[in-house]
Structure formats: structure tokens, C-alpha cells
Amino acid sequence: MKREVWRGRVWLLWLLGWWVPGWLAADPVALEEVMRQLAAVPSVEATFQEQKTLAILREPLLSSGRLYYRAPNYLRKQTLHPQPEEYEVDEHWLMIETPSDGRRQFDLNGYPQLRPFVEAIRATLAGDQATLERYYRLEFQGTPAAWSLQLNPREPEFAHFLSAIIIRGRVAWIDSVETLEANGDRSLLTVHPR
């Protein structure tokens, strides 16, 4: 009798939307469709606004700029305001340019701690589910028309810095990327077509 009451409560909570186990919420066919549609996009040009909330600051940091993507391996984030910064990834090379440090290049093969950050966005834009799954456990919700994909780090040393990355989108477009750091800091990057 107790087991039947418990089972009835679980189904009631599920029907009311208060509790949805991961295996009921995720639709692998919808995830595959989103990945297929993203993989079909040859390039993207967009603008972005980013809000970073840091525990050590009272006010969030705001920035804006442009994003460029060319399938399957090129990604560029060009911050224009409040100060110019540039991040560019091409194949396995990462270039960072800031006013204070100048231009620096990194071979991602020699910096394995950087690659998961890069692949979170680049592999999502490329619709490369296999690469995403190499670095993250994926939690997909929604339909191809409106979806969210939560990336949870697989490696404990990476999870020490990052709690999750949540990417939200519609069909083959990424609307936002939310990064939740393990120390409580977070950033929300909102993307708009150019």
C-alpha cells in the first residue's frame, strides 16, 4: 500500500510539472534534430551583449561586440565595448588579444584545460554532439523550435572551475550562453542576428 501511495505521488508531481526525471524530460530525437540543423549552418555573424556577475563586484560587468563562426572550426568573439578584446579559435589555435597583454597564441593541444571552454560553443555551433559528449554530460530540454542544452563537465578538475554551461536556442540559432562558475560567478551572453 505504501509503495502505491508513493508511486501515485510521484506521478501527480510529474503531471503537475514539479518533478521530471532526466530520462522523461530529454528527447534524444529532438537533440539529434537540433544538432543536425546546427551542423547545416555554414556561417554565422551576430552581435552580442554580455553581463558578467562577479562576487567581488557590486554591479555586473557589461560588454558588447560581434561574433563570427565559420563551419566547422573557426570562431571569433570581438568585444568592442567597454574596451576592445578579441578571442579567435581556428582549428586547434586560440588567439587572445587584449589592450593590457597584447596578442597571445595558444596551441589547444598543449592547454587541455582551455579546450572544453572552446568546444562548448564551437562544437554546439557545429552540431558536433560527439565532441560535446567528450567533455560534458548533456541535458537537453525542449523541442527544435525552442530548446536548452545544459553542459555539465565530465572531468573533476574542470568541474572545479565550472558548474555548467546552459545554451538556449531556436531551431539552428543560439539565443544565449549562460556560464555558471563553481565559485558562484556567472555570465550571460545574449546573441542577436546582424
Q: What's 38's domain CATH number? A: 2.50.20.10
- Say how many CA atoms lie within 13 Å of 191 toward its Cβ: 22
Report how many domains make up the chain.
Answer: 1
Is 70 domain-assigned?
yes
Domain-located, residue 2: no
Query: Does residue 157 or residue 172 have the better pLDDT?
Result: 172
Mean pLDDT of the region 72-84: 96
- Given this model, what pLDDT does residue 111 score? 87
Q: What mean pLDDT is predicted for residues 63-89? A: 97
The answer as to whether 18 is a domain residue is: no
Edge-to-edge, what's the strand order for the sheet holding 43-53?
102-107, 93-98, 85-90, 74-81, 61-70, 43-53, 186-193, 173-181, 162-170, 146-153, 136-143
- Position 171 in a domain: yes
Is residue 19 included in any domain, yes or no? no
Q: Does 117 reside within a domain?
A: yes
Structural domain for 107, as ranges: 25-193
Bond preceding residue 72 cis, omega within 30 of 0? yes
Query: Residue 44 domain-assigned?
Result: yes
Residue 11 is assigned to a structural domain of this protein = no
* Statement: residue 38 has pLDDT above 80: yes
Specify the range with the lowest mean pLDDT, choosing from 95-99, 100-104, 156-160, 175-179. 156-160
The pTM score is: 0.84
Q: Is the pLDDT of residue 11 over 70?
A: no
